[in-house]
Amino acid sequence: MEIVKILLKQLLQTPATNKFPAKYAPKSTIKFLDRIKKGELKLTPPIAVPPRFRGKISYNREKCTGCQLCLKVCPTKAIEFIPEEKKVKIFVARCCFCAQCVDICPVDALAMTDEFMLSSYDKYADELVVTK
């Protein structure tokens, strides 16, 4: 039986698990996060993202000319136009991370960052609404 061989071999090897964020659940997550903030502990980083990764969108407000092309191609209507300022506002909660708006933007005001850990208690939280 091939599988038994594999199992016994794996028993002796180190597991393939990436220990993100820590090996086991911490006793108190709040304290754990505090200690990380203070620099006493180090997080095991997640698997590194590749160079062309499409994470949370970033928006350069200065560059934006308000041409509204991104609104036209966004498949999720995640981008809202603010007519008074001729700028846009992006709701990450709705974004489908296709980066079509990045492709079409004539002035490169939009870009995709590496940030992908976005979970929150509120889907309209400040960090999930990109305005600048």
Partner 1 sequence: MSLNTIKRALWAYHINTGSCNGCDIEILAVLTPRYDVERFGIRLVGSPRHADVLLVTGPVARQMAPRLKRVYEQTPDPKVVIVVGSCGLEGGVFYESYNLVGPVDQIIPVDVYVPGCPPRPEAIIEAVAKAWVKLEQAEKQGVT
Partner 2 sequence: MKNEEMETTYTIPVGPIHPALKEPIRLDLKVDGERIVDVDVVVGQVHRGIEWLGMNRNNPIQNIYLAERVCGICNISHPFAYVMAVEHAAGISPPERAEYIRAITAEMERIHSHLLWAGVAAHEIGFESVFYLVWRVREKIMDLIEYVTGNRVTKAMFQIGGVRRDITEEQFPRIRKTLDYYKSIFDQLKTVFLDDRTIRMRAKNVGVLKREDALKLLAVGPTARASGVAKDVRQDQAYSAYADLDIKAVTPDILTGSIVGDVYDRIIVRLLEIKQSMEIIERCLEEMPPGAILAEPKMAKVLNTLKKAEGEGVGRHEAPRGEVIHYVRLEAGRETLATWKIRAPTYVNLMSIPTILKGGQIADVPIAFASIDPCISCTNRAMVVDRKTNEKSIMTYEELHQLCVEKTRRLSNGLVK
Partner 3 sequence: MDWSSNSYSLTTVAIVVGSIILALLGAFFGLLYRGIDRKLAAHMQGRIGPPIIQPFRDIRKLLAKESIIPDGGLSWLFQACPFICLVVSILLLTYIPVFGQRALLEGYGDLVLILYLLIIPSLALVVGGFASSSPFATVGAQREMVIMMSYEFPLAVAIIAIAWRISHVTDINPFIFSTVAQYPIWNQVGPVGVIGSLALLFTLLVVTPGEVAKVPFDIAEAETEIAGGLLVEYSGRNLALFYLADTIRAFVMVSLVVALFFPYNLSPVIGIGATAPAVIVDSLFFLLKVFLVMFISVILIRTAMARFKISQASYIYIIAMTLIGLVGLILIHVDMIV
In the complex, the smallest distance separating the C-beta of residue 36 from partner 2, rounded to whole angstroms, is 26
Site for partner 2 in 25-84 (CB under 8 A): 47, 49-50, 52-54, 69, 72-76
Torsion of CA 48, 52, 54, 56, to 10 degrees: 70
Residue span binding partner 2 (CB under 8 A) among the ranges 20-28, 38-46, 81-89, 98-106: 98-106
Q: Which of partner 1, partner 3, partner 2, none does 122 bind, CB closer than 5 to 8 A by kind?
A: partner 1
Q: Does 25 bind partner 1 (CB under 8 A)?
A: yes
Closest CA to 96 of 80, 75, 110: 75
Please name the residues in contact with 19: beta carbons below 8 A apart, sequence gap of 6 or more: 44
Convert 36-47 to b/e letters by CB count within 10 Å (16 or more is b).
eeeeeeeeeeee
Number of residues counted as binding partner 2 (CB under 8 A): 26
Contact 126, 111 (CB under 8 A): no
Q: Report the interface residues with partner 1, using CB under 8 A.
A: 15-18, 20-21, 23-25, 28-30, 33, 46-47, 75-77, 91-98, 116-123, 128
